[in-house]
A and B are shown apart, each in its own frame.
Chain A
Amino acid sequence: MSRYNFAFLDEHTKRMIRRALLKAVAIPGYQVPFGSREMPLSYGWGTGAVQVTASIIGPDDVLKVIDQGADDTTNAVSIRQFFRRTTGVRTTTRAHDATIIQTRHRVPETRLAEGQIVVFQVPIPEPLRWLEPRETETRTMHALEEYGVMHVRLYEDITRHGHVETSYDYPVRVNGRYLMRPSPIPKFDNPKLDRNPALLLFGAGREKRMYAVPPYTSVRSLDFEDYPFTIERWEHACALCGARDAFLDEIVVDDKGGRMFVCSDTDHCERRRSAP
């Protein structure tokens, strides 16, 4: 890889991205357009988050990469290898030991600490996109804080089905101002975003947007007084570690309807099992 710079991107690009990140941190939840580069991995595979990670990573960082909560899913393996090849930094599966955690679709179960950074892979950054396909329109709606349509949608869900019909990528309000997509994490993970001590960065490569939630910032999932926000619960415990408060993957174990429930967060599960 000697023909490529540390972490693949050239330093000018990294500076451009860091400037955009500073703006994102200064305006929590606001989508900052940036000159997203073409990366050697496919759009939809995490090009935005990879650019963010590449721009903030240094030789002393310790990187953890997860997909669906697990360190051993193929895309997590592939991205971890990419950074190992292009930076030579130490990688880990332990959330506790990582300085940077790049993730797709989950927030680790482990409580994060100050100084840690979580980088989220974002497919569609615009929370209003399914309600209004035009970027020119949605930017205006954000500027005017015109979020009524989203409340109407949630209201219509409740009148029709008795529930909000969104189980992941559930919209949140950041710092009482911007409506934000938390990326397609299950709504189970939404409460972890609120006043999290870690810095949360979101990168959308194909859509060329990034946004951030600074440490200890309020992140509220949209709801109504009489229909408060709730998260998923399982009747089962993890078949491996016995956890009752973790997000569980459902594994089909045979073709007769057999099921097994295990923690989606492999690090969390392993630590519970090895604990004395």
Chain B
Amino acid sequence: MYVAVKGGEQAIEAAHAQLAEDRRGDAAVPELTLMQIEQQLGLAVDRVMTEGSLYDRELAALAIKQARGDLVEAIFLLRAYRTTLARFGASLPVDTTRMTIRRRVSATFKDVPGGQILGPTFDYTHRLLDFSLADPEREREPTAAVDCPKPTSGSALPGHAERAARQSEGGVGAISGPPRVIDVLDREGLIEPERSDDDSGVVGDVTREPLAFPAARDVRLQNLARADEGFVLALGYATQRGYGRNHPFAAEIRIGEVELELAPEELGFSITLGELTVTECQMVNQFTGSAAAPPQFTRGYGLTFGHTERKAMAMALVDRALRARELGEAARTPPQDEEFVLYHSDNVEASGFVQHLKLPHHVDFQSELVLLRTLRAEAGIAPATTSP
């Protein structure tokens, strides 16, 4: 009788044992290895690394396995590990013009210096279930795209370059490090120059400092990079449907490897720590100008770990929407409201708080019952008899 919630230790232990058993599933089915997750569920790994804010494919794979494929739970696991790691410095800004390109497309120009490179994209697949994948025994024929052109310069990274299905021969020898499309507009003065909104040179850290408003763009971008993909996607989508409309064009989306460099003070020069795969999206948005500024294009920016294009594009839309104050636009819609966006974007926070409603609340509920009965009694409603 009196055990419903006041269950205690044995109940928790039993629940954990059952969780472990369910995670493993049927013991007759071979157990997943981290390498399989890393290799064959790579996009799940990319999302968990991005929103978990930790670039480590193996740990992300472990988190996905432990979370039974629940990616928000996996992100939580990775965050709770990351939080214990020491900070030993800030890297130099990543230079995406020196990216080794896997994929790079621009929607604003038919062709661009360096060419359009489709790379491994779902974009033009027909979403028909490929039943041959259901039969792991059968070695499948390689698809017709085997004759993708060899990169002319790319001796360094044959593995990636071979996968680059090039659409255009625009920039011969430019697989690594084509110029940014947006810089073409920049040279003509058609787009606002990229400038920092503070001169301190110190980058904020949303994992160390609580949010304060108005939030600077570095903090906003950090928040959005870690933000729940679904939340950012919905907000970005809303801007396209008139809630903070800003007429976006995808100037460039590029995916590939960049080097991460650190310049320790005591060394006096920078050293390369390693290589990251990132997705970068530069959005160009219309701006009609104001009393102080002539009409010019404006920018929205997205940067995420791995191949996470949907997130990077949505992030760029929301980044632009959040610049309303800075650009003198009226901020009337949720995507332009930085408190609304930044406080509700984190899925670890949101998931925890929504689900904490599962915890017992019977003390507060009891207080409400007492109050409600008092109010009803005063309204002259007799309590219903409790015995039949």
Which of A43, A169, A262 is in CB contact (< 8 Å) with B353?
Answer: A43
Main secondary structure of the interface of A (DSSP, over half): loop
Stretch of B98-106, B173-181, B195-203, B364-372 with 4 or more beta carbons under 8 angstroms from chain A: B364-372
Decide if B155 is an interface residue (CB 8 Å cutoff).
Answer: no
Decide if B348 is an interface residue (CB 8 Å cutoff).
Answer: yes
Q: Do A68 and B353 touch (CB < 8 A)?
A: no
Q: Do B386 and A4 touch (CB < 8 A)?
A: no
Closest-by-CB residue of A relative to B8 is A72
Decide if B91 is an interface residue (CB 8 Å cutoff).
Answer: no
Q: Do B366 and A186 touch (CB < 8 A)?
A: yes
Which of B209, B367, B386 is in CB contact (< 8 Å) with A187?
Answer: B367
Stretch of A34-42, A195-203, A220-228 with 4 or more beta carbons under 8 angstroms from chain B: A34-42
Decide if B361 is an interface residue (CB 8 Å cutoff).
Answer: yes
Decide if A248 is an interface residue (CB 8 Å cutoff).
Answer: yes
With A68-B363, A186-B363 in contact, do A74 and B12 touch (Cβ < 8 Å)?
yes
Which of B339, B352, B386 is in CB contact (< 8 Å) with A43?
Answer: B352
A125 to chain B, nearest CB (A): 11
Chain B residues whose C-beta falls within 8 Å of the C-beta of A185 in the assembled complex = 363
Which of B80, B209, B211, B368 is in CB contact (< 8 Å) with A167?
Answer: B368
Decide if B130 is an interface residue (CB 8 Å cutoff).
Answer: no
Q: Do A248 and B210 touch (CB < 8 A)?
A: no
Chain B residues whose C-beta falls within 8 Å of the C-beta of A105 in the assembled complex = 361, 363-364
With A67-B360, A77-B9 in contact, do A206 and B353 touch (Cβ < 8 Å)?
yes
B64 to chain A, nearest CB (A): 17
Which of A38, A39, A209, A234 is in CB contact (< 8 Å) with B207?
Answer: A38
Which of A38, A247, A260 is in CB contact (< 8 Å) with B83?
Answer: A38
Decide if B84 is an interface residue (CB 8 Å cutoff).
Answer: yes
Chain B residues whose C-beta falls within 8 Å of the C-beta of A33 in the assembled complex = 210, 212
Q: Do B211 and A208 touch (CB < 8 A)?
A: yes
Chain A contacts with B in 224-276, Cβ cutoff 8 A: 232, 234, 247-251, 253, 256-260, 262, 264, 266
Count of A-B contacts judged by CB separation below 8 Å: 156
Main secondary structure of the interface of B (DSSP, over half): helix
Closest-by-CB residue of A relative to B86 is A10
Q: Do B5 and A73 touch (CB < 8 A)?
A: yes
Chain B residues whose C-beta falls within 8 Å of the C-beta of A257 in the assembled complex = 385-388
Q: Do A250 and B349 touch (CB < 8 A)?
A: no
Decide if A168 is an interface residue (CB 8 Å cutoff).
Answer: yes
Q: Do B359 and A67 touch (CB < 8 A)?
A: yes
Decide if A184 is an interface residue (CB 8 Å cutoff).
Answer: yes
Chain A contacts with B in 77-129, Cβ cutoff 8 A: 77-78, 81, 104-106, 123
* A257 to B387 Cα, complex, angstroms: 6
Closest-by-CB residue of B relative to A265 is B363
* A40 to B348 Cα, complex, angstroms: 11
With A68-B363, A105-B363, A249-B362 in contact, do A38 and B80 touch (Cβ < 8 Å)?
yes
* A165 to B370 Cα, complex, angstroms: 11
Q: Do A35 and B209 touch (CB < 8 A)?
A: yes
Which of A38, A70, A186, A206 is in CB contact (< 8 Å) with B79?
Answer: A38
Chain B residues whose C-beta falls within 8 Å of the C-beta of A266 in the assembled complex = 6
Interface string of A1-35 (1 = CB under 8 A from B): 00011001010000000000000000000000111
Decide if A147 is an interface residue (CB 8 Å cutoff).
Answer: no
Closest-by-CB residue of A relative to B77 is A40
Q: Do B371 and A167 touch (CB < 8 A)?
A: yes
Q: Do A163 and B213 touch (CB < 8 A)?
A: no
A24 to chain B, nearest CB (A): 14
Decide if A69 is an interface residue (CB 8 Å cutoff).
Answer: yes
Q: Do B2 and A42 touch (CB < 8 A)?
A: no
Q: Do A44 and B360 touch (CB < 8 A)?
A: no
Q: Do B209 and A75 touch (CB < 8 A)?
A: no
Closest-by-CB residue of B relative to A16 is B208
Decide if A136 is an interface residue (CB 8 Å cutoff).
Answer: yes
* A69 to B9 Cα, complex, angstroms: 17
Q: Do B352 and A168 touch (CB < 8 A)?
A: no
Instruction: Pick the most buried of B9, B359, B362, B387: most chain A CB atoms within 10 A of its CB.
Output: B359
15 contacts between A and B (CB under 8 A): A35-B207, A37-B207, A68-B360, A73-B5, A73-B6, A77-B8, A135-B213, A135-B339, A169-B364, A184-B361, A186-B364, A208-B211, A250-B362, A251-B1, A264-B362
Q: A74-B7, A135-B339, A232-B366 are in contact. List 8 more A-B contacts (CB 8 A).
A: A35-B209, A38-B82, A104-B359, A135-B343, A165-B371, A167-B368, A256-B387, A257-B387
Q: Which residues of A contact B (CB under 8 A)?
A: 4-5, 8, 10, 33-40, 42-45, 47, 67-70, 72-75, 77-78, 81, 104-106, 123, 133-136, 161-163, 165, 167-169, 184-188, 206, 208-209, 232, 234, 247-251, 253, 256-260, 262, 264, 266
Top 5 nearest A-B pairs (CB, nearest first) are A44-B356, A43-B352, A167-B367, A208-B210, A257-B386
Q: Which residues of B contact A (CB under 8 A)?
A: 1-2, 5-9, 11-12, 76, 79-80, 82-84, 86, 207-214, 339, 343, 348-349, 351-357, 359-364, 366-371, 374-375, 378, 385-388
